């Protein structure tokens, strides 16, 4: 996927997250893109590392900044305690119309991820994103308890119950993702 296609897809993702009730801050876009790429194999090509609040891509952060500079995303300040939102601009509507094939190829995946992550808070996104990272590192057949233990090692502020719940939720999201038809998955 080239940069122009990624820009259209990210603007579409921001729009879909917003429609699902997300305030659509950078954390939402980071984690949603991570799930798209790593769970649903959407070829965004971003490099993610485990960072302070879970999987994070500096490349994606740069791309979001570029999209703001290009006038495709707008930064909107939100009342406390929320950080700023990154919202698709009116200009992005016309821009996205030029990439209907790309957006169409991944519309089911984008809609699915927006639906399952859109209303999540930052703390939930951190634990779910890190649970997916652990699942990818240890493998989906690794015992739930082993993955939860590893998640808690990486995120010691999570209780054992919270870590277990995050791993189980990621497993459920993955199960639902497998049930998407090819057209739904993109």
pLDDT at residue 83 in the model: 86
Alpha carbons 161 and 25: distance in angstroms, whole number = 27
Determine phi and psi for 107, rounding to 5 degrees: -60, -40
Res 186 pLDDT > 60: no
Domain ranges of the chain: 3-185
Confidence grade of residue 181 (pLDDT, cut at 50, 70, 90): low
Find the distance separating the first CA and the last CA of the chain, reported in whole Å: 14
Average pLDDT across the chain, whole number: 95
pLDDT at residue 185 in the model: 59
Look up the pTM and report it. Answer: 0.95
pLDDT per position as a tens digit, 19-75 = 999 989 999 999 999 999 999 999 999 999 999 899 999 999 999 999 999 999 999
- Token readout for 93 is 């509507």
Q: What's the whole-number mean pLDDT along residues 103-125?
A: 97
pLDDT per position as a tens digit, 70-104 = 999 999 998 888 789 999 999 999 999 999 999 99
For the packed helices 26-39 and 100-117, what is the interaxial angle rounded to 10 degrees?
Answer: 110
């Amino acid at each position: 996927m080239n940069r122009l296609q990624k820009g259209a897809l990210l603007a579409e993702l921001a729009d879909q997250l917003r429609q699902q009730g997300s305030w659509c801050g950078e954390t939402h876009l980071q984690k949603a893109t991570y799930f798209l790429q790593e769970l649903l194999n959407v070829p965004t090509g971003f490099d993610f590392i485990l960072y302070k609040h879970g999987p994070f891509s500096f490349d994606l952060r740069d791309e979001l900044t570029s999209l703001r500079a290009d006038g495709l995303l707008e930064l909107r300040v939100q009342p406390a305690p929320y950080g700023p939102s990154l919202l698709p601009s009116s200009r992005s509507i016309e821009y996205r119309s030029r990439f209907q094939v790309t957006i169409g190829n991944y519309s089911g995946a984008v809609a699915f991820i927006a639906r399952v992550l859109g209303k999540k808070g930052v703390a939930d996104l951190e634990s779910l994103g890190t649970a997916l990272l652990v699942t990818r590192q240890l493998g989906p057949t690794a015992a739930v308890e082993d993955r939860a233990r590893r998640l808690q090692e990486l995120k010691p502020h999570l209780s054992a119950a919270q870590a277990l719940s995050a791993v189980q939720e990621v497993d459920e999201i993955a199960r639902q993702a497998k049930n998407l038809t090819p057209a739904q998955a993109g």
